């Protein structure tokens, strides 16, 4: 028992230590992405059932730091404003699978190959779903899904847990875009020029105001979305290392493809966000899981969970849900097989041990300071969370599961 706790604490602390600098940098950049990318007006580019609208949706969703549940209300608002089925699918798939903060975190825990593979595969999955949707549309003579229920438009940070409040016209997250100065690239450039004295634009938002908004979004609102799941992910990595033997992944039947199917079975129903899944994947690779199988978990896990499946069925319809799930499953398996083949051909390795610079003294100092800062941010975020409403929210999800099961 003592050995179990020692291994659990050692692995969890090491994962948190390796995670801290990359996650903090990712959160910082995510805050500025919020300032740079306005969500209003995007639906004008997404209205036609074409490749172009789907590609716009995929590219728009890739850098956004949203999980699979919180992306559904934003996708629903785009759908209500005229986004096509293909654009909605593309956005729903590409957005939760990756973001700026998760790419940097993946680089820190899994290295550059996986960090590059993650957004590339997310984009590929969105394109694959678009192809499937257009093929289905061709067989049905261009007919689209029935429009989604008339729910009020909500912002990107509101989660599925508040669906009932949204239906009553209330956004409990307090997360409308109007809370922040979303100025776009041109507005940010005007603010920068005004700050350094190269021009005076009376309409420019002061740069210090934009910095305050970016920090508020990144280190408060976004941290509140991630803190609990970051703790769960780090603890899960420690438990896997302490509970399971080091060679358990080699006992999965079916070889590498069997490992991918196993990761699908685990990842699809459970709630695991992109940040939470990364330390778990790092430990699994360290214990012998193939990088392709880990990639399947990193892609399929954040894109799906039981609550999201239920909400998609209720809001977008069964046909939409079938295309969504089939696309995620097939494209994830294809991506996993392709990654393993690429690694065999190049001789490159994914070790799940962090980056090679982690042993230098200066990086150790950066990691130690970052660890302290992140620990403080997580602690204050957990203290802010509305724990009194956790049980009712879980009960609502359980009720949706029972309704879906009984139908």
Q: Could you report the per-residue pLDDT of 11-45, keeping only the tens digit for each?
A: 888 888 888 888 898 889 888 888 887 666 566 66
In this prediction, residue 151 carries a pLDDT of 42
Residue 64, both tokens: 């956004």
Q: Which residues in the chain land under pLDDT 70?
A: 38-45, 47, 67-70, 77, 80-81, 141-178, 199-202, 246-247, 352-359, 387-407
In this prediction, residue 166 carries a pLDDT of 37
In this prediction, residue 396 carries a pLDDT of 63
In this prediction, residue 82 carries a pLDDT of 73
In this prediction, residue 356 carries a pLDDT of 42
Domain ranges in the chain are 2-406
Close Cβ partners of 57 (under 8 Å, ≥ 6 residues apart): 46, 78, 83, 86, 87, 88, 90, 91, 94, 126
Whole-number Å distance between alpha carbons of 95 and 72 = 10
- CB-facing half-sphere around the CA of 3: CA atoms within 13 A: 3
Report how far Cα 168 is from the mean position of its chain's Cα atoms. 27
State the DSSP H helix or E strand holding residue 373, giving kind and residue range, or none if neither: helix 361-384
């Amino acid at each position: 028992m003592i050995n179990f706790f020692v291994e659990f604490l050692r692995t969890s602390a090491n994962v948190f230590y390796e995670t801290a600098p990359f996650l903090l940098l990712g959160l910082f950049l995510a805050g500025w992405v919020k300032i740079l990318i306005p969500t209003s007006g995007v639906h004008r580019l997404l209205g036609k059932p074409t490749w172009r609208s789907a590609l716009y949706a995929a590219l728009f969703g890739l850098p956004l730091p949203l999980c699979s549940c919180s992306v559904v209300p934003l996708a629903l608002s785009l759908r209500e404003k005229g986004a096509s089925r293909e654009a909605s699918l593309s956005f729903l798939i590409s957005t939760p699978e990756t973001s700026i903060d998760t790419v940097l975190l993946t680089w820190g825990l899994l290295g550059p190959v996986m960090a590059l593979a993650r957004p590339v595969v997310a984009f590929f999955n969105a394109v694959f779903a678009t192809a499937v949707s257009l093929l289905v549309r061709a067989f049905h003579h261009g007919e689209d899904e029935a429009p989604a229920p008339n729910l009020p438009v909500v912002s990107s940070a509101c989660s599925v847990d508040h669906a009932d409040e949204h239906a009553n016209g209330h956004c409990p997250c307090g997360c409308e875009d109007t809370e922040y100065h979303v100025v776009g690239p041109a507005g940010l450039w005007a603010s920068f020029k005004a700050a350094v004295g190269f021009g005076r634009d009376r309409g420019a938002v002061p740069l210090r105001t934009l910095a305050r908004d970016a920090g508020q979004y990144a280190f408060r609102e976004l941290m509140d979305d991630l803190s609990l799941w970051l703790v769960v992910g780090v603890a899960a990595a420690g438990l896997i290392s302490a509970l399971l033997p080091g060679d358990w992944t080699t006992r999965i039947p079916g070889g590498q493809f069997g490992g991918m199917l196993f990761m699908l079975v685990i990842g699809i129903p459970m709630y695991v966000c992109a940040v939470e899944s990364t330390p778990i994947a790092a430990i699994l690779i360290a214990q012998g899981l193939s990088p392709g199988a880990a990639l399947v978990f990193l892609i399929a896990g954040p894109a799906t969970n039981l609550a999201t499946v239920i909400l998609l069925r209720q809001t977008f319809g069964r046909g939409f849900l079938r295309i969504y799930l089939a696309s995620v499953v097939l494209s994830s398996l294809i991506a996993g097989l392709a990654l393993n083949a690429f690694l065999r051909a190049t001789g490159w390795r994914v070790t799940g041990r962090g980056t090679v610079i982690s042993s230098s003294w200066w990086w150790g100092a950066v990691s130690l300071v970052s660890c302290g800062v992140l620990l403080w941010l997580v602690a204050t975020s957990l203290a802010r969370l509305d724990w009194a409403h956790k049980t009712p929210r879980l009960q609502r999800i359980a009720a949706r599961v029972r309704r879906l099961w009984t139908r």
